[in-house]
Amino acid sequence: MTVLQSIIDGVREDLEGRRLTVDEREIIELASAATPALDAFASLGGREAGEDRDQSVHIISEVKRKSPSKGALAEIPEPAALASMYEAGGASVISVLTEERRFGGSLADLDAVRAAVSVPVLRKDFMVEPYQFFEARAHGADLVLLIVAALDDAKLAEFLALTHQLGMNALVETHTPEEIQRAAAVGAKIIGVNTRNLKTLDVDITTFGALKDLIPSDRVIVAESGVQELADVQLYGSQGADAILVGEALVKSGDPAATVRAYREAATAARAGK
Protein backbone atom coordinates (compact mmCIF):
# COMPACT_ATOMS: atom_id res chain seq x y z
CA MET A 1 0.00 0.00 0.00
CA THR A 2 1.32 3.50 -0.83
CA VAL A 3 1.88 6.12 1.88
CA LEU A 4 -0.86 8.26 0.32
CA GLN A 5 -3.38 5.39 0.44
CA SER A 6 -2.56 4.58 4.06
CA ILE A 7 -2.98 8.25 5.06
CA ILE A 8 -6.33 8.38 3.25
CA ASP A 9 -7.52 5.19 5.00
CA GLY A 10 -6.77 6.81 8.36
CA VAL A 11 -8.51 10.04 7.33
CA ARG A 12 -11.66 8.09 6.42
CA GLU A 13 -11.67 6.26 9.76
CA ASP A 14 -11.25 9.50 11.73
CA LEU A 15 -14.01 11.14 9.71
CA GLU A 16 -16.56 8.57 10.83
CA GLY A 17 -16.19 9.78 14.41
CA ARG A 18 -16.98 13.44 13.78
CA ARG A 19 -19.28 13.42 10.77
CA LEU A 20 -22.34 14.68 12.62
CA THR A 21 -20.81 17.70 14.30
CA VAL A 22 -21.51 20.20 11.52
CA ASP A 23 -24.90 21.00 10.05
CA GLU A 24 -24.32 21.26 6.30
CA ARG A 25 -27.32 23.59 5.78
CA GLU A 26 -25.86 26.12 8.20
CA ILE A 27 -22.60 26.06 6.30
CA ILE A 28 -24.31 26.69 2.99
CA GLU A 29 -25.92 29.80 4.51
CA LEU A 30 -22.58 30.90 5.93
CA ALA A 31 -20.83 30.37 2.61
CA SER A 32 -23.43 32.29 0.63
CA ALA A 33 -22.72 35.39 2.72
CA ALA A 34 -18.97 35.24 2.24
CA THR A 35 -16.61 35.93 -0.66
CA PRO A 36 -13.24 34.71 0.57
CA ALA A 37 -12.39 32.73 -2.55
CA LEU A 38 -11.70 35.77 -4.69
CA ASP A 39 -9.66 37.38 -1.92
CA ALA A 40 -7.60 34.26 -1.45
CA PHE A 41 -7.01 33.96 -5.18
CA ALA A 42 -6.01 37.60 -5.53
CA SER A 43 -3.67 37.46 -2.56
CA LEU A 44 -1.68 34.73 -4.27
CA GLY A 45 -1.18 36.94 -7.29
CA GLY A 46 -3.96 35.41 -9.33
CA ARG A 47 -5.29 37.48 -12.16
CA GLU A 48 -7.92 36.94 -14.76
CA ALA A 49 -6.40 35.89 -18.09
CA GLY A 50 -4.94 38.87 -19.95
CA GLU A 51 -4.18 41.01 -16.91
CA ASP A 52 -0.67 41.58 -15.62
CA ARG A 53 0.57 39.26 -12.92
CA ASP A 54 1.50 40.45 -9.47
CA GLN A 55 5.31 40.32 -9.57
CA SER A 56 5.88 39.48 -5.91
CA VAL A 57 6.30 35.86 -4.88
CA HIS A 58 3.95 34.94 -2.05
CA ILE A 59 4.86 32.69 0.82
CA ILE A 60 2.29 30.15 2.02
CA SER A 61 3.52 29.45 5.52
CA GLU A 62 2.60 26.13 7.08
CA VAL A 63 1.82 25.06 10.64
CA LYS A 64 3.34 21.56 10.56
CA ARG A 65 4.10 19.53 13.70
CA LYS A 66 5.33 16.28 12.20
CA SER A 67 5.32 14.41 8.92
CA PRO A 68 5.55 10.89 7.52
CA SER A 69 8.92 11.67 5.94
CA LYS A 70 10.62 13.38 8.88
CA GLY A 71 8.72 12.42 12.06
CA ALA A 72 8.51 15.14 14.74
CA LEU A 73 9.51 18.55 13.39
CA ALA A 74 8.67 21.04 16.13
CA GLU A 75 6.69 21.52 19.32
CA ILE A 76 4.01 24.04 18.45
CA PRO A 77 2.22 24.76 21.73
CA GLU A 78 0.46 27.81 20.28
CA PRO A 79 -0.30 27.53 16.57
CA ALA A 80 -2.02 30.92 16.74
CA ALA A 81 1.20 32.57 17.91
CA LEU A 82 3.20 30.91 15.15
CA ALA A 83 0.64 31.95 12.54
CA SER A 84 0.70 35.53 13.84
CA MET A 85 4.47 35.59 13.39
CA TYR A 86 4.06 34.30 9.85
CA GLU A 87 1.53 37.03 9.15
CA ALA A 88 3.80 39.68 10.67
CA GLY A 89 6.57 38.51 8.32
CA GLY A 90 4.35 38.97 5.28
CA ALA A 91 2.90 35.50 4.70
CA SER A 92 0.09 35.69 2.15
CA VAL A 93 -1.65 32.51 3.28
CA ILE A 94 -1.34 30.34 6.39
CA SER A 95 -1.53 26.60 5.70
CA VAL A 96 -2.72 24.48 8.62
CA LEU A 97 -2.33 20.72 8.54
CA THR A 98 -5.45 19.21 10.09
CA GLU A 99 -4.66 15.52 9.50
CA GLU A 100 -4.13 13.99 12.93
CA ARG A 101 -2.44 10.58 12.68
CA ARG A 102 0.58 11.31 10.50
CA PHE A 103 0.91 15.09 10.80
CA GLY A 104 -0.31 15.72 14.36
CA GLY A 105 -2.67 18.45 13.18
CA SER A 106 -6.30 19.12 14.13
CA LEU A 107 -9.33 21.24 13.46
CA ALA A 108 -8.56 22.94 16.77
CA ASP A 109 -5.31 24.16 15.20
CA LEU A 110 -7.31 25.51 12.27
CA ASP A 111 -9.72 27.30 14.63
CA ALA A 112 -6.88 28.85 16.60
CA VAL A 113 -5.10 30.09 13.48
CA ARG A 114 -8.29 31.35 11.89
CA ALA A 115 -9.04 33.43 14.97
CA ALA A 116 -5.52 34.87 15.06
CA VAL A 117 -4.86 36.04 11.49
CA SER A 118 -6.62 38.04 8.82
CA VAL A 119 -4.83 36.58 5.79
CA PRO A 120 -6.47 33.59 4.03
CA VAL A 121 -6.15 30.20 5.70
CA LEU A 122 -5.64 26.91 3.85
CA ARG A 123 -7.00 23.72 5.39
CA LYS A 124 -4.25 21.25 4.46
CA ASP A 125 -5.66 17.75 4.59
CA PHE A 126 -6.44 14.77 2.43
CA MET A 127 -9.87 15.66 1.06
CA VAL A 128 -11.71 12.53 0.04
CA GLU A 129 -15.34 13.11 1.14
CA PRO A 130 -17.74 16.03 0.60
CA TYR A 131 -18.29 16.34 4.34
CA GLN A 132 -14.71 17.56 4.80
CA PHE A 133 -15.41 20.61 2.63
CA PHE A 134 -18.38 21.67 4.74
CA GLU A 135 -16.24 21.09 7.79
CA ALA A 136 -13.40 23.21 6.34
CA ARG A 137 -15.79 26.07 5.68
CA ALA A 138 -17.35 25.77 9.12
CA HIS A 139 -13.90 26.13 10.65
CA GLY A 140 -13.15 29.27 8.63
CA ALA A 141 -10.92 27.96 5.84
CA ASP A 142 -10.59 30.09 2.71
CA LEU A 143 -8.76 27.40 0.78
CA VAL A 144 -8.55 23.63 0.75
CA LEU A 145 -6.04 21.22 -0.79
CA LEU A 146 -7.04 18.87 -3.60
CA ILE A 147 -4.42 16.21 -4.38
CA VAL A 148 -4.89 15.08 -7.97
CA ALA A 149 -3.16 11.75 -7.27
CA ALA A 150 -5.86 10.92 -4.72
CA LEU A 151 -8.89 11.71 -6.91
CA ASP A 152 -10.31 10.49 -10.21
CA ASP A 153 -11.50 13.09 -12.74
CA ALA A 154 -15.13 12.96 -11.62
CA LYS A 155 -14.22 13.47 -7.94
CA LEU A 156 -11.77 16.23 -8.82
CA ALA A 157 -14.47 18.11 -10.74
CA GLU A 158 -17.09 17.47 -8.04
CA PHE A 159 -14.80 18.63 -5.23
CA LEU A 160 -13.58 21.73 -7.09
CA ALA A 161 -17.20 22.73 -7.75
CA LEU A 162 -18.14 22.11 -4.12
CA THR A 163 -15.14 24.16 -2.96
CA HIS A 164 -16.31 27.10 -5.06
CA GLN A 165 -19.94 26.63 -4.06
CA LEU A 166 -18.90 26.97 -0.44
CA GLY A 167 -17.03 30.21 -1.16
CA MET A 168 -13.55 28.73 -0.93
CA ASN A 169 -10.76 28.18 -3.41
CA ALA A 170 -8.54 25.14 -3.95
CA LEU A 171 -4.82 24.59 -4.20
CA VAL A 172 -4.80 21.71 -6.67
CA GLU A 173 -1.64 19.69 -6.12
CA THR A 174 0.17 17.82 -8.87
CA HIS A 175 3.33 15.75 -9.29
CA THR A 176 3.41 14.75 -12.96
CA PRO A 177 2.63 16.14 -16.44
CA GLU A 178 -0.52 14.03 -16.57
CA GLU A 179 -1.75 15.39 -13.24
CA ILE A 180 -1.09 18.98 -14.38
CA GLN A 181 -3.12 18.32 -17.51
CA ARG A 182 -5.99 16.95 -15.38
CA ALA A 183 -5.85 19.91 -12.98
CA ALA A 184 -5.87 22.42 -15.84
CA ALA A 185 -8.67 20.61 -17.67
CA VAL A 186 -10.96 20.69 -14.65
CA GLY A 187 -10.49 24.46 -14.33
CA ALA A 188 -8.20 24.69 -11.30
CA LYS A 189 -7.20 28.32 -10.73
CA ILE A 190 -4.35 27.57 -8.34
CA ILE A 191 -2.08 24.70 -9.37
CA GLY A 192 0.78 23.46 -7.22
CA VAL A 193 3.69 21.23 -8.11
CA ASN A 194 4.69 19.27 -5.03
CA THR A 195 8.35 18.35 -5.32
CA ARG A 196 7.92 15.61 -2.69
CA ASN A 197 7.29 12.27 -4.38
CA LEU A 198 4.32 10.77 -2.53
CA LYS A 199 5.47 7.21 -3.22
CA THR A 200 9.06 7.49 -2.00
CA LEU A 201 8.66 10.72 0.07
CA ASP A 202 11.93 11.92 -1.48
CA VAL A 203 12.11 15.61 -2.38
CA ASP A 204 13.65 16.79 -5.64
CA ILE A 205 13.22 20.55 -5.97
CA THR A 206 14.22 20.45 -9.64
CA THR A 207 10.81 18.84 -10.31
CA PHE A 208 9.19 22.27 -10.14
CA GLY A 209 11.34 23.72 -12.95
CA ALA A 210 10.83 20.60 -15.04
CA LEU A 211 7.00 20.77 -14.83
CA LYS A 212 6.13 24.41 -14.27
CA ASP A 213 5.86 25.38 -17.96
CA LEU A 214 3.10 22.80 -18.44
CA ILE A 215 0.79 24.89 -16.24
CA PRO A 216 -1.29 27.39 -18.23
CA SER A 217 0.03 30.91 -17.61
CA ASP A 218 -3.33 32.28 -16.45
CA ARG A 219 -3.28 30.04 -13.35
CA VAL A 220 -1.62 30.79 -10.03
CA ILE A 221 1.50 28.60 -9.92
CA VAL A 222 2.66 27.25 -6.55
CA ALA A 223 5.95 25.51 -5.76
CA GLU A 224 5.42 23.12 -2.83
CA SER A 225 7.86 21.48 -0.41
CA GLY A 226 11.58 21.07 -0.06
CA VAL A 227 12.65 24.56 0.98
CA GLN A 228 15.60 24.31 3.36
CA GLU A 229 17.41 27.57 2.68
CA LEU A 230 17.26 30.88 0.86
CA ALA A 231 18.74 29.40 -2.31
CA ASP A 232 15.73 27.10 -2.63
CA VAL A 233 13.17 29.92 -2.68
CA GLN A 234 15.45 31.82 -5.05
CA LEU A 235 15.39 28.84 -7.39
CA TYR A 236 11.59 28.55 -7.25
CA GLY A 237 11.26 32.34 -7.74
CA SER A 238 13.63 32.40 -10.69
CA GLN A 239 11.62 29.59 -12.27
CA GLY A 240 8.40 31.61 -12.08
CA ALA A 241 6.57 30.49 -8.94
CA ASP A 242 3.76 32.87 -7.96
CA ALA A 243 3.74 31.38 -4.47
CA ILE A 244 5.89 28.97 -2.47
CA LEU A 245 4.55 26.63 0.22
CA VAL A 246 7.00 26.20 3.10
CA GLY A 247 6.56 24.01 6.17
CA GLU A 248 9.56 22.42 7.87
CA ALA A 249 12.03 25.29 7.39
CA LEU A 250 9.62 27.75 8.99
CA VAL A 251 8.53 25.66 11.98
CA LYS A 252 12.21 24.99 12.74
CA SER A 253 13.24 28.62 12.29
CA GLY A 254 14.20 30.57 15.39
CA ASP A 255 12.58 33.67 13.91
CA PRO A 256 9.62 32.71 11.71
CA ALA A 257 8.63 36.31 10.89
CA ALA A 258 12.11 37.24 9.71
CA THR A 259 12.42 34.00 7.76
CA VAL A 260 9.12 34.51 5.93
CA ARG A 261 10.17 38.08 5.11
CA ALA A 262 13.59 36.96 3.86
CA TYR A 263 12.05 34.18 1.72
CA ARG A 264 9.53 36.54 0.21
CA GLU A 265 12.10 39.19 -0.65
CA ALA A 266 14.65 36.71 -1.99
CA ALA A 267 12.13 34.84 -4.14
CA THR A 268 10.67 38.09 -5.50
CA ALA A 269 14.11 39.44 -6.36
CA ALA A 270 15.03 36.16 -8.04
CA ARG A 271 11.84 36.21 -10.05
CA ALA A 272 12.61 39.74 -11.23
CA GLY A 273 16.10 38.58 -12.21
CA LYS A 274 17.82 40.80 -9.63
Ligand X SMILES: O=C(O)c1ccccc1NCC(=O)[C@H](O)[C@H](O)COP(=O)(O)O
Binding residues for ligand X, per CB under 6 A? 3, 62, 64, 67-69, 194, 196, 198, 201, 224-227, 245-249
Catalytic status, residue 62: yes
Active-site residue, selected from the candidate residues 212, 225, 248, 253? 225
Instruction: Decide: helix, strand or coil at residue 187.
Output: coil
- DSSP secondary structure string, 20-48? GGS-HHHHHHHHHT--HHHHHHHHTT---
Of 2 and 32, which has the nearer Cβ to ligand X?
2
Of 124 and 139, which has the nearer Cβ to ligand X?
124
Catalytic status, residue 169: no
**Alpha helix segments (H runs only) across the chain:** 3-18, 24-32, 36-43, 79-88, 107-116, 130-138, 153-165, 177-185, 206-211, 230-238, 248-251, 256-271
DSSP state of 78: -
Catalytic status, residue 13: no
DSSP state of 212: G
Residue nearest to ligand X (CB): 247
Of 111 and 173, which has the nearer Cβ to ligand X?
173
CB of 55 to ligand X, least distance (A): 23
CB of 42 to ligand X, least distance (A): 22
List, in sequence order, every residue forming a beta bridge with 60; answer none if it has no partner: 93, 245
Cα–Cα nearest to 172, from 153, 156, 190, 151 = 190
CB of 61 to ligand X, least distance (A): 10
Of 87 and 167, which has the nearer Cβ to ligand X?
87
Active-site residue, selected from the candidate residues 61, 169, 194, 253? 194
Active-site residue, selected from the candidate residues 87, 135, 173, 248? 173
Active-site residue, selected from the candidate residues 61, 62, 95, 169? 62
Question: 48 burial class (0-12, 13-18, 19+ CB within 10 angstroms)?
Answer: exposed
CB of 52 to ligand X, least distance (A): 28
Q: Catalytic residue numbers?
A: 62, 64, 124, 173, 194, 224-225
